[in-house]
Amino acid sequence: MKARILAVSMAVVGLSPLLFSADTTSSKSSSAAAWNPHAAAVYLDARLTWWSQWPNAARDHGTFCVSCHTVAPQAMSRLSGSAKAPSETETKLISNVTTRVRLWDQVAPYYPDSRGPGKSAESRGTEAVLNALVLASYNPSRGEMNPDLRSALDHMWADQLKSGDAKGAWNWLQFHNAPWEGDSQFYGATLGALVAGATPASYRSDPGVQENVQALQEYLKKNFASQKLFERVMLVWASIKLPGLLSESERKAILAEAIAKQQADGGFSTTDFVSPWARADKTPLETKSDGYATGLVALVFEEAGISPKRPELKSALDWLAKNQEAADGRWLAYSLNKNRDLSTDAGKFMSDAATAYAVTALVRANR
């Protein structure tokens, strides 16, 4: 009965119940024994539903924007999860993105230039990547691509910058929310690399696509050394999906730097991955372990082939298993931009991403 409940719970967030052993009480790692997958699934599903209905997220043609904090991480986690059929809520997300892809020349940008100089171009570049990310993540067959995904990829490559210092990247929305949700063009490029890596090799062998991918690789390789540790950890994830971004020694060096940030309780603090950085409201950043950094680091370590039995990864997974919120199933994470009330919808944004990564890391540990 317990295994059946877990299967239903994981289906809500699109994660395969096959990632769990038939007898979940004797799974390969004890790290996941204490956490509640059903509560996490309900939380993520509710947050995606809320975002899709939030007036501030509404856009033209009855659509809503794809957010970097609440929507994208759920899609990104599927690249490290399973090809399980999407839930009803996720199906609505796919339909929303598909509508905007099919009406690309008709839908308005997320933000017009009236919101600030260059906002239309930034919106187009950001959305082109996020649309392709969502459709690639929910692509039912990794060996084939449906027409909507192909169209989304066409839009993504068409909006890729073809000249200048940022050649190979995309215009990215700038709202003074660095280093991750906005303002980080490099972060956006790592998402583009995740998308490219999720496409079949036969697609990437097309000469035109090869040229685009090469430009993206060159941009990331040229600029990664100057990025914050958070963005370099994201690059490790992208490099596993899309070869040619990092050498083995470079990857190991980034992972070693990340390991050095592990706290005594086994978790990681996002603050340690974005230094130097200060909140806009001048309040001090949280320094304790949080679900965002711990979930992301654990997931990237797993992607890199590190065994869940390795002490550093096991400690991170143990922290995740012990620190899920009993009240609503999420993992807490804290805004890098201001001291937000974590009980509010905006205060949950970082926790939305944290929960998507934490669930995926814990599920992977039980394969």
Domain boundaries, the chain: 2-364
Cα–Cα distance for residue pair 84/6, rounded to 1 Å: 14
Does the pLDDT at position 185 exceed 80? Answer: yes
Rounded to 5, what percent of the chain is helix, strand, coil? 55, 0, 40
User: Which pLDDT tens digit goes with each residue over 121-132?
Assistant: 999 999 999 999
> Do 360 and 13 form a contact (C-beta atoms < 8 A)?
no
Q: Give exposure, 263-283, as e/b (b: 16+ Cβ within 10 Å).
A: beebbbbbbbbbeeeebeeee
Q: How many CB atoms sit inside 10 A of residue 243's CB? A: 9
Does the pLDDT at position 316 exceed 90? Answer: yes
Cα–Cα distance for residue pair 238/193, rounded to 1 Å: 6
Answer yes or no: CATH 1.50.10 is held by domain 2-364: yes
Cα–Cα distance for residue pair 125/109, rounded to 1 Å: 10
**Is the bond leading into 308 cis (omega within 30 degrees of zero)?**
no
DSSP category for residue 242: S
Does the pLDDT at position 105 exceed 60? Answer: yes
What mean pLDDT is reported for the chain? Answer: 88
Section 323-349 average pLDDT: 95
Section 150-157 average pLDDT: 98
Does the pLDDT at position 8 exceed 70? Answer: no
Prediction pTM value: 0.90
Q: What is the pLDDT of residue 82?
A: 61
